Structure 1
């Protein structure tokens, strides 16, 4: 993503409450006039940050044109003059999707950007952000010759809870929904499905194997598990389900299900039969097995090309004796 030649051409903010608590939806009466400094801040902190968001695509069971956010965004791209009116439709849609009592009231910020560069091509894009939390900040101002600390409420643009970037010329969107908050943005509001990529599959394997060995306490079992995962990399056709199946001999089903759920949530990988290359698996697994906690304050860093070692720790008097047995990977 490149925003160096992009321009923020429209901006509006509406307040979206929760209907289950009888909170209102409050529309702005006009679009604000932003200073160049504020527009630049929104571009750098909000729009540019979407580069790290996961790719999704709009969906609908019957017809994509029945996906309301897809339709409203298309209308804006076809007629920029409709931005303000369609922004109200978008806010109303979010309001209607905010019926979980745990969803907090917040400001909905909608930005229309021109000439943002994605995948080497310039495009218009709609950036939509929901602000659900405010932070307390300390400011210091000069008052009658003295510097006075003062408390202020503000928005930390590095910690936005919900966001989506909708390009006009691509068949994907970029979105994120911060974990720890009530989940409704992607499934209910966007009605989007994650794009399955080798990157998301790699993240799944890294998260899954990392949490799997944390659930194991016996170093010999961990070493055996590492060998089994390494053996998988010698196959051509692999899927995340193969990793789960290999792990099944080391953990209970409930442990497996719990660890897989966490990995799915962090990777956005929903298709566990997604095909991945052996090199992708090897690279992802190496992150897990490269750094080993031996005892408190002592870690072992394993160079590439080495197998996971067998480690035993024994207490001898007031000393801890650590025995490490390892062998180089097979050529």
Structure 2
């Protein structure tokens, strides 16, 4: 979805952001940098952009009042895209704004990099992009160098691993009226970091495309089966696993989703179908997220969600049974002599 094979780093500004609540300060650079060294260019492109090659979710910059101009990051990014000569001044405004919201004691201080890239590809098109990155994690590195008669060994502390980008976002100069296309990285992924970076600083909302529609429906259905069904029906764990397996089979085999077709083929029970549609409606209202009744299925979203669809029946700490197919070939019973439950499994061949 995102590629940087043709990308170049046109301008870079680096600032230092402390934690305001801890009485730390921020330090702003006087000017931006124009990186001429080709090796350093390649290293920076790898550090800043390579994590996005595996990103599928695309967001929008937004604001709770539905006025994009009230989103500070949107405003500063728009100014840069309109007039590239304002890049460094707006990078300082972004740094100052991030400092102002860094008011939780667990937020780490670190360097803020604001970069202007040319020719970054997203969804098949090349665009200029603004990158905002924060490095918080530092590591120590050993350095070995030839010396007379052998080698010398030294180390460098507080260095940055270019294969570990802590936090970042790419704002692409396209679809500005809708909040731009935005890709996000947050490797720390703790609740405090996620809130202050994605929600408070960037103020993001998910773009309602096929990837997110597919991901949302699968997520809602999984929660419905694992959490809601027990409230309305008596259902065994094997039946739950069967419902999850059938849903994943549907999404892997179909090109498009239709809620009526899905409900009839996968749930195949009138009361269960009504319960699922009601659960979906409540989710949409609670999270203010519309999920269409029909859409093209995203294979990338299916592949990601498949990892969370567990088909494992865990029996005490002794056995795990993986159920991949016909649930009619496994029977549950109770042994009165041992006062224990048991499962009977039918099969033809043993491998």
TM-score normalised by structure 2 residue count: 0.69
Rate the CA distance shift 1:37–1:274 in 2: closer, same or farther, 3 A. same
Q: Report the CA distance between 1:323 and its aligned residue.
A: 3.3
Q: Residue in 2 aligned with 1:28?
A: 29
Matched, 1:198 2:213: yes
Contact 2:14 2:112 in 1 (8 A): yes
Instruction: Report deviation, 1:49.
Output: 1.9
Equivalent-residue separation in structure 2 for 1:292 and 1:120 (angstroms): 42
1:187 equivalent in alignment to 2:190 = no
Alignment of 1:1-331 (within 5 A): 1-34=2-35, 35-53=37-55, 54-60=57-63, 61-144=65-148, 145-148=150-153, 150-170=155-175, 171-177=180-186, 178-180=188-190, 182=193, 183-196=195-208, 197-201=212-216, 204=219, 208=223, 221-229=236-244, 235-236=260-261, 270-271=287-288, 274-275=291-292, 288-290=309-311, 300-303=321-324, 305-307=325-327, 309-310=330-331, 323-325=344-346
**Partners of 2:66 and 2:290 in 1: CA distance:** 25
How much does 1:168 deviate?
A: 0.6
* TM superposition shift of 1:98: 0.9
Deviation track 1:202-234 (CA, whole Å, cap 9, x = no partner) reads: 563587489869xxxxxx831132345568778
**Residues 310 and 79 of structure 1: CA distance in aligned 2, closer, same or farther (over 3 Å):** farther
Q: 1:24 to 1:87 in 2, by over 3 A?
A: same
Give secondary structure in 2 for the equivalent of 1:179. Answer: coil
Unmatched runs of 5 consecutive residues or more in structure 2: 229-234, 251-258, 264-271, 277-282
**Kept in 1: contact 2:244–2:309 (CA 8 A):** no
CA contact (8 A) 2:241 2:311 kept: no
**Matched residue of 1:160: which SS?**
coil
Tell whether the 8 Å contact from 2:51 to 2:165 is kept in structure 1 after alignment: no
CA distance in 1, matches of 2:109, 2:214: 34
How far 1:122 sits from its partner (Å)? 1.4
Preserved contact between residue 101 and residue 201 of structure 2 (Cα < 8 Å): yes
Structure 1: distance between partners of 2:213 and 2:121? 23
Deviation at 1:138, TM superposition (A): 2.9
For residues 75-122 of structure 1, give each alpha carbon's deviation from its aligned partner in whole angstroms, at most 9, with x where no partner exists: 111111111111101101101111122211111011100111222221
RMSD of aligned Cα (Å): 4.4
What is the rounded CA distance, in whole Å, between the counterparts of 1:203 and 1:129 in structure 2?
Answer: 31
Query: What runs of 5+ residues in structure 1 fail to find an aligned partner?
Result: 214-219, 247-259, 261-268, 327-331
Secondary structure in structure 2 of the residue aligned to 1:133: coil
Q: 1:58 touches 1:64 (CA, 8 Å); kept in 2?
A: yes
Q: 1:206–1:285: 8 Å Cα contact kept in structure 2?
A: no
Structure 1 position 299, deviation (Å) = 5.2
Distance (Å, rounded) in 1 between the aligned partners of 2:326 and 2:120: 45
- Label 1:62 to 1:205 Cα distance change in 2 as closer, same or farther (>3 A): closer
**TM-score normalised by the chain length of structure 1:** 0.72
Match of 2:269 in 1: none
> Counterpart of 2:40 in 1: which secondary structure?
helix
Q: CA deviation at 1:174?
A: 1.0
Seen in structure 2, the aligned counterparts of structure 1 residues 286 and 148 have a Cα distance that, compared at 3 Å, is closer
Is the Cα–Cα contact under 8 Å of residues 140 and 155 in structure 2 kept in the other structure?
no
1:43 CA displacement? 1.4
